Structure 1
Amino acid sequence: MSSRTWFRLGALLLSAGFAVPLAAQVWRSDQGDGTYRNPVLYADYPDPDIIRVGEDFYFVSTTFANAPGVTILHSKDLVNWRIAGHVVDRLDGDPRYDLTQGDAYRRGFYAASLRYHDGLFYVAVTPVGHKTRIYRARTIAGPWTYSELDREAFDPALFIDDDGTAYLGTSIGSDGTVTLLTLNKDLTAVTAARKAYYNKGAEGSKIIRRDGYYYLFNAIPGKLAMTVSRARSLWGPWETKPSIDDKSGGHQGAIVDMPDGSWYGFVMVDAGAIGRMTNISPIFWKDGWPWWGAPDRPDFVPERSPKPIRGHGFAEPPSSDDFSNPVLGSQWQWNHNPDDSKWSLTQRPGFLRLHATRADGIWTARNTLTQKAQGPRMRAIAKVDVQGLQPGDLCGFGSFGKYSAQLSVAAAAVGHRSVRMQVTDSTQDGPQTEMRVPSLAIDAPTMWLRVDLDFETDLGRFAYSIDNRQWRDVGTPFPLAFDWRTGTFQGQQIALSCYNSGPDGGYMDIDSVTVSPLAGTVQP
């Protein structure tokens, strides 16, 4: 049974009443009976690296060009996670991060490595096309500072040996040579570089040490598989055995030790339009090798399993927001660095105000505010005040990614507004193509814009209301998809946007965004 089938089965069990979630939850991994089900987060948290510090677990994930970037989550049990913060407030080193001189979608921060040593947290990460950075902070919440190395190490794997010597492992799937870079004492410079191993197609390395062995985990993206290697020395000789793959649980990850001496594995699995999700699995040891799952079904990530640590309550990253706080919630990220003069939480307290930025479409519009979509099926409703729109403004709510579908309110003249649906198929090199439905005239100052996303059928749909009771469907269902070559290299996101092709524009006030499970399905 494939991982994607497990997720479908989990949704069916949920709807059948075997596990009843709270009303505001889209997905609940913790079953409340001492067990959990995979994935632990039904959302796009790719390239996981998880460590334990005392009784706390920390999880770092890829964020590409989104700002703030390099998300870190915190858990007490590997199942219930909250967002602890972001390493990078704003992306630097390339004008495209400001959506000038082009865009930076599919660039930014990939596959970070997280470690803790001598009272400091370290994050090794390589912005695409730039040299590797080592960030450091006394607390997981920051503030973070960084030093830049003299080279670009693809998918860096930070490892600090028992004697305090720090290394970066790096390999790229187009080759597979694993090189170890030795770092100086304060992890600010490379002092040596040496090839340690060759594993055809390997990347996404992780290194740990246990009982006199070094263990090297590598993703083999071409096969959506993972291997594990071991050696008595970092320089080999290495033995290698195949491990799990996307049919049995995932293809990029490693293992983390528990307070009681046991081990658990974490692994990324490609899961279609929702993106790349993280599975958690027990690890058992046999003949000095780590095996995923249980002895009666080795190297197979269980769909459901006892919780690694019991006694901790349900937790999840935030999603709904009434914008009553003076800072944005940790679930929100801008599509690139924002123009801070074009948004505010204080100009109208209790509302997020998005001023129209100048753009010819959502792909080039700065200050598009996103958060990760959730599966298996979700509904999101934005309550908006559109009285501040000016002629030419196009402001709304919807999905963002490979397909960017927006239900927008357009202002043709002051006081004359209409609802418009646009679906943009974003391609890497070519122009945007748009599918539109006829505009629907509307004169209400306050509206509710609704988007349903169904990751079982990979379809979305729109509706709007002027009273939050009677709803009017708009257009036909639109597609959801993931393609690393195009779009944002992420699963579908939900997004608020406001732009105008001219120099002058107004604004949209967002009163709230409410995220909840979708009871039915979206059908063609």
Structure 2
Amino acid sequence: MPRRLQRCAAVLMAGVSLLGMAAPNAAGAAGDSQRPTTFYNPPLHADFPDPDIIRVGDHFYFATTTFANSPGLTILQSTDLLHWEYVTHVVPRLDGNVQFDLENGGAYRGGIFAPSLRYHAGTFYVAVTPVGQNTRIYSSQRIEGPWAMRVLDREAFDPALFFDSDGSGYIATSGGWDGTITLLTLNGDYSKVTDARKIHYHKGAEGSKLIKRGGYYYLFNAVPSKLALVVSRARSLSGPWETRAQIDDTSGGHQGAIVDLPDGGWYGFVMIDAGAIGRMTNLSPIFWQNDWPVWGTPDAPGRVPATATVPIAGKPAVRPATSDTFDGPQLGLQWQWNHNPDSSRWSLTERPGYLRLRPTVANDFWHARNTLTQKGYGPHSRGEVVLDVSQLRAGDVCGFGTLGKFNAHIAVTRSASGALQLGMNVIEDTLQGQKTEVRAAALPYAQQRIHLRTEMDFTSERGELSYSADGNAWRSLGGPFKLAYDWQSGTFQGPQYAVFCYNPQRSDGYIDIDQFNLRMD
């Protein structure tokens, strides 16, 4: 079989493995049509935090936090709330802060938080507040973009964009765990704030979402100190508001809201802190009781069910893209750089069918630009890359592993004498800085191609790294390491797969990435 066909076959098998593993998260017993009739939470077993989901016609759209990853502000689409595909990144390149270019320590745990996605009068809108900047409103008539941007005159924490039935635009905002909810009134083209007033208070509230149903406005707020979600309702946006507790992390999650279905039903979406994998999004049926939304079912109210009837039956079992042969003219939407990349140091055209990474100048992994990432999936997933390392130069440090709280990787280097070597380090990001544990150093390696594997097991919260010369015989290197999520250190995200290449000095070396395969089993 020709090499290109071998590569495509390998990626196809990885995709089949992914779909086979994804099915338990999205399907239960099959009905007469052999389509799933039930699903299991979470539909996406990965870190997709701060969800906002809307419906436009027969499609649902899901916006999520992306922090300093670039391109930023990811949107996925679905026809049934269960099976999602990447559709766009709203922000091609982060701006407004040199730290987005990994200068001055970088912007890990900063960047883009909690976008608010809405659709009004034929146009998609996203309101978002990059950390330390004023709120932006992006707009496009196509979900794929391109997106125009307006910048407001103030910072609205976790903005909740809302369009009333008369077309008036508003943003509800509450942040810093203060609990004061402020309503900003926008002008006719939604480019300026014309009024700001306090409309409600609930201790500790943030993460607002605002919708309207019938004669009531509904305001959803997270209470992070309690990992809880509350809902308030009022006949007028100015109040008075009544507030009721909804759910919390012991019953399903603490930040989210609800979305309507084409048949008039409702479903809830809610984020839950889920251990080392980070924050995942659960789905729940919603029923109404005296004009209050209730999570769950009448038989089991007040909690997100582990399994439930599919919201919309009979839709195809598509999944977000993962594996890649790098044959296209652009990177797939599953990929993001750790910060804004140096575009002169990577290429998909210099060697067609490969992604070429040239070393960026950095003293260590944590501060190196052009680290290419995608999400780690649970309960267990395994990423493999095939690298051509023949053009490495002395001092180049290039390889594959994880990016997160614990940054474990196998690096391929070339010594001053010209010999290739392997090393394995675990770098923990702490409040005091990075702690590096050298697990293996200067292991000789004689081949020009290498297969590297990173395994993430979120049931044990452990990872493991291994390498192979041929993709068949694998050797573990360095032993198991921790997987962890931490909002105070690391990246504020669950562990990501990461391919990297850096050198403390300017280098004309490079690696060529032949393919990336993601499997779940």
Partner of 2:12: none
Tell me the SS of whatever aligns to 1:514. Answer: strand
Does the 8 A contact of 1:243 with 1:291 survive in 2? Answer: yes
Return the match for 2:334 from 321, 331, 334.
331
Partner of 2:30: none
Q: Could you tell me which amino acid in structure 2 is paired with residue 337 of structure 1? A: N
TM-superposition CA deviations, 1:123-167 (whole Å, max 9, x none): 000000000000000100000111100000000000111111111
Measured after TM superposition, the shift of residue 415 of structure 1 is 4.2
TM-superposition CA deviations, 1:31-80 (whole Å, max 9, x none): 14221111010011100000011111000000000000000000000000
Partner of 1:119: 122
Distance (whole Å) between structure 2 residues aligned to residue 440 and residue 399 of structure 1: 20
Measured after TM superposition, the shift of residue 234 of structure 1 is 1.0
Return the match for 1:368 from 361, 366, 371.
371
Partner of 1:55: 58
Does the 8 A contact of 2:425 with 2:436 survive in 1? Answer: no
Distance (whole Å) between structure 1 residues aligned to residue 389 and residue 130 of structure 2: 38
Structure 2 gaps of 5+ residues are: 1-14, 28-34
Question: Does residue 319 of the first structure (1) align with residue 314 of the second (2)?
Answer: no
Provide the TM-score with structure 1 as the length reference: 0.93
Partner of 1:184: 187
TM-superposition CA deviations, 1:402-456 (whole Å, max 9, x none): 1111111111136411111011001244344333323310010011001110001
TM-superposition CA deviations, 1:219-270 (whole Å, max 9, x none): 0001111001111111111111111111111000000111111111000011
TM-superposition CA deviations, 1:188-237 (whole Å, max 9, x none): 00000000000000000001111101111000001111001111111111
Question: Does residue 172 of the first structure (1) align with residue 168 of the second (2)?
Answer: no
Partner of 2:271: 268
Partner of 1:477: 480
Distance (whole Å) between structure 1 residues aligned to residue 74 and residue 50 of structure 2: 11
Question: Does residue 278 of the first structure (1) align with residue 273 of the second (2)?
Answer: no
Tell me the SS of whatever aligns to 1:273. Answer: helix
431 and 79 in structure 1: CA distance in 2 versus 1, 3 angstrom threshold: closer
TM-superposition CA deviations, 1:479-515 (whole Å, max 9, x none): 0000000011111000000011122241111100100
Correspondence list, 1:159-238, <5 A: 159-238=162-241
Partner of 1:403: 406
Structure 1 gaps of 5+ residues are: 1-20, 519-524
Partner of 1:146: 149
Return the match for 1:23 from 8, 17, 33.
17
Measured after TM superposition, the shift of residue 305 of structure 1 is 1.1
Return the match for 1:356 from 359, 364, 369.
359
Moved more, 99-108 or 181-190: 99-108
Does the 8 A contact of 2:36 with 2:310 survive in 1? Answer: no
Tell me the SS of whatever aligns to 1:437. Answer: strand
Tell me the SS of whatever aligns to 1:229. Answer: strand
TM-superposition CA deviations, 1:105-139 (whole Å, max 9, x none): 11111000000111110000000000000000010
Does the 8 A contact of 1:415 with 1:443 survive in 2? Answer: no
Q: Could you tell me which amino acid in structure 1 is paired with residue 237 of structure 2? A: L
Does the 8 A contact of 1:213 with 1:233 survive in 2? Answer: yes
Correspondence list, 1:442-461, <5 A: 442-461=445-464
TM-superposition CA deviations, 1:11-50 (whole Å, max 9, x none): xxxxxxxxxx942334333214221111010011100000
Q: Could you tell me which amino acid in structure 2 is paired with residue 308 of structure 1? A: P
Q: Could you tell me which amino acid in structure 1 is paired with residue 514 of structure 2? A: D
Q: Could you tell me which amino acid in structure 1 is paired with residue 240 of structure 2? A: P
Distance (whole Å) between structure 2 residues aligned to residue 24 and residue 86 of structure 1: 23
Distance (whole Å) between structure 2 residues aligned to residue 439 and residue 52 of structure 1: 54
Tell me the SS of whatever aligns to 1:23. Answer: helix
Distance (whole Å) between structure 2 residues aligned to residue 124 and residue 294 of structure 1: 32
Distance (whole Å) between structure 2 residues aligned to residue 504 and residue 322 of structure 1: 26
Measured after TM superposition, the shift of residue 102 of structure 1 is 2.3
Partner of 1:424: 427
Q: Could you tell me which amino acid in structure 1 is paired with residue 359 of structure 2? A: A
Tell me the SS of whatever aligns to 2:166. Answer: coil
Partner of 1:16: none
Q: Could you tell me which amino acid in structure 1 is paired with residue 507 of structure 2? A: D
Distance (whole Å) between structure 2 residues aligned to residue 322 and residue 252 of structure 1: 36
Distance (whole Å) between structure 2 residues aligned to residue 505 and residue 489 of structure 1: 33
Distance (whole Å) between structure 1 residues aligned to residue 490 and residue 499 of structure 2: 17
Distance (whole Å) between structure 1 residues aligned to residue 400 and residue 22 of structure 2: 22
Tell me the SS of whatever aligns to 1:63. Answer: coil
402 and 512 in structure 1: CA distance in 2 versus 1, 3 angstrom threshold: same
Tell me the SS of whatever aligns to 2:433. Answer: coil
Partner of 2:9: none
Partner of 2:8: none
Return the match for 1:155 from 142, 150, 158.
158
Does the 8 A contact of 2:69 with 2:340 survive in 1? Answer: yes
Question: Does residue 382 of the first structure (1) align with residue 397 of the second (2)?
Answer: no
Does the 8 A contact of 2:396 with 2:502 survive in 1? Answer: yes
Measured after TM superposition, the shift of residue 283 of structure 1 is 0.3
Distance (whole Å) between structure 1 residues aligned to residue 352 and residue 314 of structure 2: 39
223 and 386 in structure 1: CA distance in 2 versus 1, 3 angstrom threshold: same
Partner of 2:441: 438
Does the 8 A contact of 2:72 with 2:89 survive in 1? Answer: yes
Tell me the SS of whatever aligns to 1:327. Answer: coil
Does the 8 A contact of 1:381 with 1:451 survive in 2? Answer: yes
Moved more, 332-341 or 294-303: 294-303
Does the 8 A contact of 2:394 with 2:418 survive in 1? Answer: no
Return the match for 1:346 from 344, 349, 357.
349
TM-superposition CA deviations, 1:344-381 (whole Å, max 9, x none): 00111110010011111111000000001000000111
Does the 8 A contact of 2:427 with 2:434 survive in 1? Answer: no
Q: Which runs of 4+ in 1 moved over 3 A?
A: none
Tell me the SS of whatever aligns to 2:369. Answer: coil
Partner of 2:3: none
Percentage identity across paired residues of the two chains: 57
Q: Could you tell me which amino acid in structure 1 is paired with residue 146 of structure 2? A: P
Distance (whole Å) between structure 2 residues aligned to residue 456 and residue 23 of structure 1: 19
Partner of 1:18: none
Does the 8 A contact of 1:173 with 1:221 survive in 2? Answer: no
Q: CA RMSD in A?
A: 1.2
Distance (whole Å) between structure 2 residues aligned to residue 470 and residue 429 of structure 1: 40
Distance (whole Å) between structure 1 residues aligned to residue 42 and residue 416 of structure 2: 48
Distance (whole Å) between structure 2 residues aligned to residue 458 and residue 56 of structure 1: 35
